[in-house]
A and B are shown apart, each in its own frame.
Chain A
Amino acid sequence: MINNILNFEDVSEGMEIPTIEFGPITRQQLVDYASASGDYNKIHYDESFAKKAGLKGCITHGMLSMAITGSFITNWAKRATLKNFKVRFSGITNENDILTIKGRVSKKFVQDNEHLIEIQFQSLTQEKVVIIMGSALILLNSKSTT
């Protein structure tokens, strides 16, 4: 299983994390997410309601967009431990948008015997609108301590 583990030694500062593409985000997914998260705000699945609220149509839950960036992190940093994960929402994700998530390692350091990296990432729509900017602090395994 060694190939499935991201070790501290595999990572360098400035290194890019493989970009992923996600979507299109369908109405079915918005309904599934409303149900799984308990966020039943109708702007996410009732188009006429969303339009009355002044939107073009149904929009994605902000937390679904964050969850997708979470998958971007955990599918790269396999067997790692997430310590902190934060985002700012900077734009709207519409139904049927396709998101591109990009990121890089901004810091690599050892603190209190913990092998840590900080990454920064962003999520963009097909129109290159940045909808999320965020960062995460990740604890990695080190070959020197295992």
Chain B
Amino acid sequence: MIDRKFIGYEFAPNEIRISRWKISQFANAIRDFNPLYYDIKYVQQEGYRDLLVPPTFYTTMTFSDQNFFQKLEIDFRKLLDGGREFKYYSQCYAGDSIVYQTRVDNIVEKEGSRGKMDVVTAITTGKNKDTNHNIFDAVITLIVFH
């Protein structure tokens, strides 16, 4: 059972500068060879100011604090990734710096075929460091069996 005192808990924010190399590395790992992720001349011809990021790129920012699981005392052996959602508010380009912060949105108990479980929802909000515009929310649903 995960302590309910963590509902609403905010982890320390983190920040990252999105490099062209990191975008291309990620795109290659998912074997998506769209030139928007690799070719600076191409993206500028298309009217963008720099390389774009693939839709799930923000998964690298799912937790602003690497100690998320330790803090909530989640045992990896009892953990299942229940689902993900990304909400996109504005475009992000290579060269942008993002400040992101994770909070525990909710923890509820459910019962399934494998017994009782805690369903933990955590939301990470990403903002452009310079303009403060919202870029994304990443919502993760974790299933932790008792």
Contact = CB atoms under 8 A, between A and B. Distances in A.
Q: Is the interface of B mostly helix, strand, loop or mixed?
A: mixed
Contacts of B26: 36-37
Contact of A74 (B22, B31, B55, B82): B55
A78 to B, nearest CB: 9
A37 B25 CA distance: 9
Contact of A29 (B29, B46, B86, B139): B29
Interface string B1-44: 00000000000000000000010011011111010000000000
Contacts of A87: 83-85
A70 B56 contact: yes
A29 to B, nearest CB: 7
A3 B102 CA distance: 40
Interface in A15-52: 22, 29, 32-33, 35-38, 41
B113 interface: no
A130 B75 CA distance: 26
Interface in B78-93: 80-88, 91
Nearest to A66: B56
A129 to B, nearest CB: 16
Nearest to B91: A81
Given A38-B60, A86-B83, A29 B55 contact: no
Contacts of A36: 22, 25-26, 28-30, 60
Contacts of B76: 41
B86 A84 contact: yes
A85 B59 contact: no
Contacts of A33: 29-30
A37 B81 CA distance: 15
Nearest to A63: B59
Interface string A69-93: 0110111000001111111110000
A98 interface: no
A68 interface: yes
A66 B32 contact: no
Interface string B50-83: 0000111001100000000000000011001111
Interface of A: 1, 22, 29, 32-33, 35-38, 41, 53, 62-64, 66-68, 70-71, 73-75, 81-89
